[in-house]
Chains A and B, each alone.
Chain A
Amino acid sequence: DSGVTQTPKHLITATGQRVTLRCSPRSGDLSVYWYQQSLDQGLQFLIQYYNGEERAKGNILERFSAQQFPDLHSELNLSSLELGDSALYFCASSPWGGGSLDTEAFFGQGTRLTVV
């Protein structure tokens, strides 16, 4: 168990809808990363938050957004969903937000999103 909790584990929704994925980082970790894993794109970095503030953006669509709350949990919001958004979405956490390259990140078990 990595200590990172993601809910829900599975989500099925229709095209055009909006969903929210939730992540609770390991105790004490300030940084949260969101990744998307699909068969054709592999593991893609979406966005990072550190202590409540956006720190970096990767390949995140404008229809997607995230936030990190004062208790450090994070939510990834996906809107106007398309069939191609079906994927496994991972959250990872690490203690720091930058300036240190040598610490690994710890991953949750993921949320499998199916858009029908």
Chain B
Amino acid sequence: AQSVAQPEDQVNVAEGNPLTVKCTYSVSGNPYLFWYVQYPNRGLQFLLKYITGDNLVKGSYGFEAEFNKSQTSFHLKKPSALVSDSALYFCAVRDGHSGYALNFGKGTSLLVTP
């Protein structure tokens, strides 16, 4: 099955600094990768996806992600973090063997401090 891993349970960053949330993937074939964000007591919101093409994908709220095939990574980045970016971030991969359901990583809690 296709899977992703998020090696960090929590990432702390100061407001205004760049942030990176890491994700690595394990897939057979071409990867279809997604990032979602979950704010407290809310559902998951789609941020961006990588299907094919440019390795740098731009998404919502100023987020972008860099796809690296040789390192099997899809890290989420933002040049300048905001306190309001504090949330739970999930990396996911589309699994063609499970009805194309999204398989999620365990999530990374991002805390941006003023």
Chain A residues with CB under 8 Å of chain B are 2, 4, 33, 35, 42-43, 45, 48, 50, 55-58, 90, 92, 96-102, 104-110
Closest B residue, CB atoms, query A104: B46
Given A42-B104, A106-B46, 15 other A-B residues pairs in contact with their CB atoms under 8 A: A2-B43, A2-B45, A50-B99, A56-B98, A56-B99, A56-B100, A56-B101, A96-B100, A102-B49, A102-B51, A104-B46, A108-B43, A109-B41, A109-B42, A110-B43
Choose among A43, A48, A104 the residue that contacts B99 (Cβ–Cβ < 8 A): A48
* Cα–Cα, bound, A88→B96 (Å): 25
- A sample of 17 cross-chain residue pairs with beta-carbon separation below 8 angstroms, ordered by A number, consists of A33-B102, A42-B107, A43-B90, A45-B101, A45-B103, A48-B99, A48-B101, A50-B99, A56-B101, A90-B44, A92-B102, A97-B99, A98-B99, A102-B32, A105-B102, A106-B46, A109-B42
- Residues in B67-107 with C-beta less than 8 Å from chain A: 90, 94, 96, 98-107
Chain B residues with CB below 8 A from A57, complex form: 98
Chain A residues with CB below 8 A from B101, complex form: 33, 45, 48, 56, 58
Closest B residue, CB atoms, query A55: B99
B102-A101 in contact (CB<8A): no
